């Protein structure tokens, strides 16, 4: 339920706490790979990073639901939520790149797209056209593909000794990269009349 008009708006609540927790997980996911193998074997590093990323992805879906369901949407939360998602994806891709588990071109495409679309949305907001480049179903499918592929690539090992998680994750990250390029082109096409307006 939204706050009465006379009360100050909520600035910290459950969705906000989940968003900050997701941001706090980013250095942990990165830092686990810096622990010496003698202290923490590589298999456990992979599993820890994988499940932390999965937990972060789950909180992403949950905090949005709670915010809308119970009227806890705030300006700060609306700003931080997509920032946390992009930081998490980009940080994980940098880790995977350093481990040789993702192609350099794929990482560049995904990170470059996030920067381009974020800049485009900021510019469109300045001219009052932000709704034209709001997140659509294609962007959501792209995000789902990324959120499934990345933990698989972090896990790296065979699941139950049989399922080649790395191969599945690699296929999905290429699909996510293709969707990333396509969704960026869709946004640019929508924004082009405003970008080319003298």
pLDDT tens across 53-80, in order?
999 888 877 877 777 787 777 777 777 8
Give the per-residue pLDDT at 195.
67
Q: How far is CA 29 from CA 32, 115, 176, in A?
A: 6, 22, 21
Model pLDDT, residue 65: 75
Q: Can you give the length of the chain in residues?
A: 198
Q: Give the model's pLDDT for residue 5.
A: 45
Whole-number pLDDT of residue 1:
43
Higher-confidence residue: 49 or 129? 49
Instruction: Compute the average pLDDT of residues 73-90.
Output: 82
Q: What pLDDT is attached to residue 6?
A: 45
Cα–Cα distance between 195 and 188 in angstroms, integer?
Answer: 9
pLDDT value of position 135? 64
The reported pLDDT for the residue numbered 109 is 92
Mark out the alpha helices in 70-164 (DSSP H runs): 75-98, 104-126, 137-155
Q: How far apart are CA 45 and CA 60, in angstroms?
A: 23
d(C-alpha 123, C-alpha 92), whole Å = 27
| Higher per-residue pLDDT: 151 or 9 | 151
């Amino acid at each position: 339920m939204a706050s009465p008009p006379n009360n100050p708006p909520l600035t910290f609540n459950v969705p906000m706490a989940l968003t900050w927790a997701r941001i706090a997980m980013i250095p942990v996911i990165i830092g686990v790979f810096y622990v010496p193998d003698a202290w923490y074997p590589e298999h456990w590093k992979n599993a820890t990073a994988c499940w932390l990323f999965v937990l972060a992805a789950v909180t992403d879906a949950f905090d949005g639901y709670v915010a809308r369901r119970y009227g806890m949407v705030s300006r700060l939360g609306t700003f931080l939520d997509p920032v946390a998602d992009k930081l998490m994806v980009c940080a994980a891709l940098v880790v995977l790149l350093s481990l040789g588990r993702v192609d350099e071109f794929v990482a560049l495409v995904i990170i470059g797209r996030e920067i381009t679309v974020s800049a485009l949305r900021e510019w469109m907001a300045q001219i009052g056209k932000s709704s034209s480049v709001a997140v659509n179903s294609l962007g959501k499918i792209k995000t789902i593909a990324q959120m499934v592929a990345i933990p698989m690539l972090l896990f790296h090992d065979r699941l139950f000794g049989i399922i080649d998680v790395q191969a599945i994750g690699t296929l999905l990250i290429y699909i996510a990269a293709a969707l990333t390029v396509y969704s960026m082109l869709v946004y640019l096409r929508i924004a082009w009349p405003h970008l080319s307006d003298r």
